[in-house]
Structure 1
């Protein structure tokens, strides 16, 4: 993803969080429930749960809401059983799209995801049709400020176990393995860094340049998917034109 598109998408997501915070909390709550169900409710013994809780806190999710979701996942409170289902397909101009859902109704999620693809010039494909174009990695984004020394931030990240460090005009991008993500994130937090984004993500191996028209169609599809209550994450390999505003 180009620096412009990456930062554009991050800023756009931050804006959406401010507008639809309740919906974001619902999605984060699902992640916490599943993490607690699969690995237990103790943060010190469940690295995945620690990462998800940190993500929830960075989005200003109330501690009471976080704890309630943990208890639901651990079976201490009544909750819903969610299943993770991944859908794959193509958007306009051949852009690859991976959709991760957490749902209690598989038939509903597949129908609504397929409808979004069909409505916005896309095609939903079979499992594995595009996921091979992405690598699952930890990604930490730090918004640059004037007092940050690029070399110092890079050395701190690499010493903590990061795999890669990328510099853009407005941000630093730190890439980690899935296994070392939590350790790197916690190390940077202890150094006082705040994150624009910190999550396990799917990073495309190659980008697909789009026209302005294609970018608009792809973004409309992504927006519709992300507005779906069953959808947790949407990954794509679109490289938008510099002048595209979304």
Structure 2
């Protein structure tokens, strides 16, 4: 079995944000709306035939995002309402202690986004990197998280094998199913009946590149992580550091 995943996703930790301030909730809504728009633009407005849109709408429901907001974002993505056009970009960088960061970004203006990200890295002990400087430490995988109460391991394994999944891991209260990105649509569809906690394509740290940290080093990485996560154009942040839960939670991660 691979080591537990190291990474961070706005969708998979959305439940922690439910009690957040209105300002924080507004940021979450903005990020989800952008994802809905891009998903609809790419794959159409029917979630049944668009796994990426289905995933984004599940995140919206988990975050208690109003239905009107969801529908408006879909219409903007389809061009039925006037809206800004967003571009998907991947950025990479290094953080304190030599940690690696991968950022999935949706921006309408790279000339604004890049200096802001460079500033955040520089002020928090890191630096922006070139293409490939961090992603080599990660694998791009489909990841589906299913609550254990929904299904037992044997039944889940049977479903997953038929759909083309690679692995099922036991992590606390959830099963974590991983697959190649080419199989994600089939795996996500096969498990949709179980109402997964999250289902998305992620950058998963390779076991040999996982970086456990504690103390001051962990705090420094968490500060940078939180600043990047808070930047408006950043949709998802992945880092190869494994930090203590209490430090992650203290920084809202």
TM, length-normalised to structure 1 = 0.85
3-state DSSP class of the match of 2:145?
strand
Q: Using the TM superposition, give the Cα deviation of residue 102 of structure 1 relative to its aligned residue in structure 2, in angstroms.
A: 0.8
- Could you say which residue in structure 2 is the equivalent of 1:93? 97
CA distance in structure 1 between the partners assigned to 2:91 and 2:56 by the alignment:
22
CA distance in structure 2 between the partners assigned to 1:107 and 1:150 by the alignment:
48
Structure 1 residues without counterparts, runs of 5 or longer: none
- Could you say which residue in structure 2 is the equivalent of 1:149? 152
Q: Using the TM superposition, give the Cα deviation of residue 98 of structure 1 relative to its aligned residue in structure 2, in angstroms.
A: 0.6
3-state DSSP class of the match of 2:172?
coil
1:175 to 170, 173, 178: 178
1:47-102, Cα deviation, whole Å (9 max, x unpaired): 43334334433443333222211111111101001112221111111111011111
3-state DSSP class of the match of 2:182?
coil
Residue correspondences, number: 243
CA distance in structure 2 between the partners assigned to 1:242 and 1:54 by the alignment:
25
Q: How does 1:125-136 map to 2 (within 5 A)?
A: 125-136=129-140
What is the root-mean-square deviation in Å for CA atoms of aligned residues? Answer: 2.9
- Could you say which residue in structure 1 is the equivalent of 2:198? 197
CA distance in structure 1 between the partners assigned to 2:102 and 2:6 by the alignment:
17
Which of 1 and 2 has higher RCO (CA within 8 Å, sep 6+)? Answer: 2
TM, length-normalised to structure 2 = 0.83
- Could you say which residue in structure 1 is the equivalent of 2:234? 231
3-state DSSP class of the match of 1:180?
helix
Q: Using the TM superposition, give the Cα deviation of residue 116 of structure 1 relative to its aligned residue in structure 2, in angstroms.
A: 1.3
1:28 to 23, 26, 32: 32
2:43 to 17, 39, 46: 39
CA distance in structure 2 between the partners assigned to 1:108 and 1:73 by the alignment:
22
1:160 to 160, 163, 170: 163
1:91–1:127 CA distance, 2 compared to 1 (3 A): same
1:74 to 74, 78, 87: 78
